[in-house]
Amino acid sequence: MNDPDVLAPPVIEGVGIVRRDSKTNRTLLSGVSLHVDAGESLGLEGASGSGKSTLLRALALLDPIEGGEVRYLGKVIQKSAVPGFRRNVVYLAQRPSMVVGTVLQNLSLPFTFASAERGLDHAAAVELLGVLDRDESMLDQDAMTLSGGEQQLIALVRAILVDPDVILLDEPTASLDPASTDRFEQLATTWKRADARRSWVWTSHDADQVDRLTSRRVRLADGSVVDG
């Protein structure tokens, strides 16, 4: 009996990724390979400066790489396929990037690009705000008046509204207070549990958080995988 899932390629995979600082030629990632299966919760660990952000940004195709390749569902992404890739693999930075405007304008941002295939799902946005105990009126709030924690929660709502398969979370709660961290984790977990094929890579210096939220770990040291 053939089970198609047995042979399914990883949802995202880095193979021998090399990244160098173009100014100094210093090697930041020296041939890193890792894979994330559909539905997986992968923890990416390592000391400060070990290369976690650099690796996540490379996997998200946000930075050029000097060697190796990134595969999505087993295929290298050609330039023309990058907009589609960005709908499926979303990188969430430690510091939320909000534009000047309302929360609604910020949530709508991914749907304003020429490559967007649809508009913002307004009802879904309101539902997600509800998970955060906020109502529709938040959509009209000036994003610049939000606290850092609220901005990060809105950044997660925005990522979820894109409806990706994978979210790459780069120390997303490092600057949040415990209450906002709880909300962030709850919203992320609700998103993931709603579809067994959804995956994340979560980096954190909080060992308890990594234990709570991930089932497999990869450790980086000095730009190389040392464990996992």
Ligand X SMILES: Nc1ncnc2c1ncn2[C@@H]1O[C@H](COP(=O)(O)OP(=O)(O)OP(=O)(O)O)[C@@H](O)[C@H]1O
What residues make contact with ligand X under the rule CB under 6 A?
Answer: 21, 28, 46, 48-54, 171
Q: How many CA atoms lie within 13 A of 120 on its CB side?
A: 19
**Cβ at position 95, least distance to ligand X in Å:** 11
Nearer to ligand X among residue 54 and residue 209 (C-beta): 54
**Cβ at position 177, least distance to ligand X in Å:** 19
**Cβ at position 217, least distance to ligand X in Å:** 14
**Cβ at position 202, least distance to ligand X in Å:** 13
Tokens encoding 6: 């047995």
**Cβ at position 186, least distance to ligand X in Å:** 24
What is the C-alpha separation between 82 and 88, in angstroms, rounded?
10
Nearer to ligand X among residue 48 and residue 145 (C-beta): 48
Tokens encoding 71: 């595969």
How open is the CA angle 38-42-47, to the nearest 5 degrees?
A: 155
Nearer to ligand X among residue 150 and residue 171 (C-beta): 171
Nearer to ligand X among residue 53 and residue 108 (C-beta): 53
Nearer to ligand X among residue 52 and residue 158 (C-beta): 52
Nearer to ligand X among residue 97 and residue 112 (C-beta): 97
Cα separations in angstroms, 33 against 50, 58, 166, 200, 223: 15, 12, 17, 16, 11
How many whole angstroms from its chain centre is CA 134? Answer: 23
Nearer to ligand X among residue 27 and residue 102 (C-beta): 27
Q: Is 158 exposed, middle or buried (0-12, 13-18, 19+ CB in 10 A)?
A: buried
Tokens encoding 184: 């962030």
**Cβ at position 54, least distance to ligand X in Å:** 3
**Cβ at position 107, least distance to ligand X in Å:** 26
